Structure 1
Amino acid sequence: MPKIVILPGDGIGPEVTAAAVEVLREVAPDLTFEEHLIGGIAYEAHGEPFPQVTRDALTDADAVLLGTVGGPQNSPWNSLARPLRPESGLLALRKALGCYANLRPVRVQPGLEHLSPLKPELARGVDILIVRELLGGVYFDQDRSIDGDTAYNTMRYTTPEVERVAKMAFWAAEQRKGRVTSVDKANVLEVSELWRRDVQALRDREYRSIHLNHEYVDSVAMLIVSDPSRYDVIVTENLFGDILSDLAAVIPGSLGLMPSASLGDGAGLFEPIHGSAPDIAGKGIANPAAAIMSAAMLLRHGLKRSDAANQIERAVALALREEPTRDLGGKADTQTFTRAVLEAMGTPVG
């Protein structure tokens, strides 16, 4: 039976993850679940945000479902040395799993255009997949320092790192509209010159059926909200992908609607992209849609069960129409929305 490691994490993580697990149990009753700690709560229990017991559990995992990590800005965790902070546990988790490609779908569901801050005619039909490189660039390079009044970080990429994430983007585009936009800053950054050269060379060598376009990150930051339908698959490096995917997250109407999948050499990591929202943690009002849709991505990409994933996604879309959560202008709390998803799946709810 497939083993799913559950890492609820901090803040609203345990609440939204519990909702996702409830849906997974109904649609895939053969799965087994094993829960472990990560983030701030792991530091409090074990003195580190990614303890060895959690690391060991990943060895035979088929997929990992993550909640959230981190606390409020004034959290005592933020005064810790950087390797002990909750977010460092997340970076270490991605590296341990070899997850080099983060897939973030940005989709406006039919009939839900009114949830978007964009005009309905701009939001209608938006369906973008952002593929973000996840293990390289400025976030991971060890050539970094603060020395008095001077600080620096280094962005570095190699051709193999660029090619492997570009392959993921081209593969995804083959199953969609066949269009890839590679995002860089090649007019001022040498690392972006390498990025552009290698993505183009890979396309010309192995993916000639894909239409490839290169755009600068500052231009994309404007166009992704002023003309989002121009994009199908976007591929970019770690820092640019982090910023662009958070910017694009406003298009569907809420961070609570944004799932993600991080894929690579081993078990995939699946998580909502929203934060830990400590101000509402424990109140039972968090929107679990992104966590539930992350569970759908787990089924599709981690276990190759597209039919079950489609069933969940259809049910979430219906529940969003009938029982929108508070962040979407509705009244549904976490439990009410989860129950609506189960009902939409045809699951009897007592």
Structure 2
Amino acid sequence: MYRICVIPGDGIGQEVIPASVAVLKALPLSFSFVDADAGWECFQRRGVSVPDETLAEIRSSHAALFGAVSSPMGKVQGYKSAVVTMRQQLDLYVNLRPVISLPIASARQGVNMIIVRENTEGLYAGQEERLPDRAIARRVITVRGSERILRYAFELARRQQRRKVTIVHKANILKETCGLFRDIGLCIAGEYPDITTEEMLVDTAAMRLITDAEKFDVLVTTNLFGDILSDEASALVGGLGLAPSGNIGEQAAIFEPVHGSAPDIAGKGIANPLAAILAAAMMLDHLGEPAQAGHVRQAVCSVLMQGVLTPDLGGTASTGEVTAAVIAALRR
């Protein structure tokens, strides 16, 4: 039996995560689901965005499903992003975002890449200060952090029989931080002669995602660059409503839709559950259930081809109707 920690979070997370759980329950697998609390609403109730017991539940589970989190734009005393907290406290150093064409009119066909993003340091390390006349953020790039994310990308490429890894950086300007990441990447690349390696400046990569997305295979980069590029890339294949992600470490893993909490539509029953359902499929791969993961993805594709779509994709279906259609497709 797989023990899964379920963290709906804020906003539409409370609608799409139950949808993904319903899909998992329709599979011929045994699950135990344990609910846990995290997010902005949790902070408002309890004074902490991720309680210690939530971290303990994640550690004691085979994996976790997380919905979305709302974060205030301004500084709030005592608040720290729930997502960043979980990534750092659990050392979830890999952020994995597949970008794969789906059978929908808004998706560009022929795209099949994985963006591998360092998930615990860089400009998201949380080392910022406000001075009277300026604000300063430290960009932390370490040897350990770079080595393990770059090696993960090459191992992933080899495991999935992918042919190329693109190392994305800005070493022409950020000569120390990106320079370190680049140097380590090129050194590790030498250990994988069966995989083609290329390096690319981040601004060039942003352009090439628009002009030549089909030519990317595995793309590996630092935290902020990966965050921006993966959101950009999701627009190629249907948008954030179809974009799943995984946060993976040595001892824990959390899978989530890429989209945010969408407070403008929360509670209306029209949130697109497919990103959360595809995140559950990623979780199944992680658990060593690739056949069941494939069944879930096939069911999602079937629903898209049937035209059962939520408003963000141009349809009129509700969250519940899309979820029911996926479950029906699984049972056919």
Flag whether TM exceeds 0.5 (same fold). Answer: yes
Deviations 1:262-297 (A, max 9, x none): 111112110000010001001110000000000000
Does residue 209 (structure 1) correspond to residue 194 (structure 2)? The answer is yes
Give unmatched runs, 5+ long, in structure 1: 117-122
Shift of 1:53: 2.2
Give the whole-Å Cα distance in 2 for the aligned partners of 1:212 and 1:134.
22
Per-residue deviation, 1:192 = 1.0
Matched, 1:288 2:273: yes
Change (3 A) 1:196 1:72: closer
Q: Tell me, which stretches of 5 or more residues in structure 2 are unaligned?
A: none
Structure 1 partner of 2:76: 80
Q: Indicate the residue corresponding to 1:305 in structure 2.
A: 289
Identity of aligned residues (%): 40
Question: Which residue identity is paired with 2:328?
Answer: E
* Amino acid corresponding to residue 90 of structure 1 in structure 2: V
**What is the aligned-residue RMSD (CA, Å)?**
1.4
2:42 partner letter: A
Which whole-Å deviations, capped at 9, do the CAs of 1:102-122 have from their partners, x for residues lacking one? 01011112x42x213xxxxxx
The aligned counterpart of 1:194 is: 180
The question of whether the paired residues in 1 share the 8 Å contact of 2:42 and 2:49 is answered with yes
Q: Provide the rounded CA distance (Å) in 1 between the counterparts of 2:256 and 2:325.
A: 21
Q: What amino acid is aligned across from residue 126 of structure 1 in structure 2?
A: V
- How big is each residue's C-alpha offset from its partner over 1:212-241, in whole Å with a ceiling of 9 and x where there is no partner? 000000001111011101100100000100
**Residue in 2 that maps onto 1:119:** none
SS of 1:182 mapped into structure 2 = strand
Deviations 1:19-78 (CA, angstroms, capped at 9, x unpaired)? 0000011115411000011011211331111112212222311101000000676xxxx5
- What's the CA shift string for 1:182-223, capped at 9, x where partnerless? 00001111211111110110110x211110000000001111
Describe the SS at the equivalent of 2:65.
strand
Instruction: Answer yes or no: is the 8 Å Cα contact 1:38–1:51 preserved in 2.
Output: yes
Runs of 4+ deviating beyond 3 Å: none
Query: Taking structure 1 as the reference length, what is the TM-score of the superposition?
Result: 0.91
Secondary structure, aligned partner of 1:196 = helix
Choose the corresponding residue for 1:98, options 91, 101, 108. Answer: 91
Structure 1, residues 135-164: CA drift from partner, whole Å, max 9, x if none? 01111153x211011111111212221111
Residue 155 of structure 2: aligned partner? 171
CA–CA separation in structure 1 for the residues paired with 2:315 and 2:256: 24
Name the SS for the 1:271 alignment partner: strand
Tell me the secondary structure at the aligned position of residue 345 of structure 1. helix
Report the residue type matching 1:257 in the other structure: L
2:215 corresponds to which letter in structure 1? Answer: R
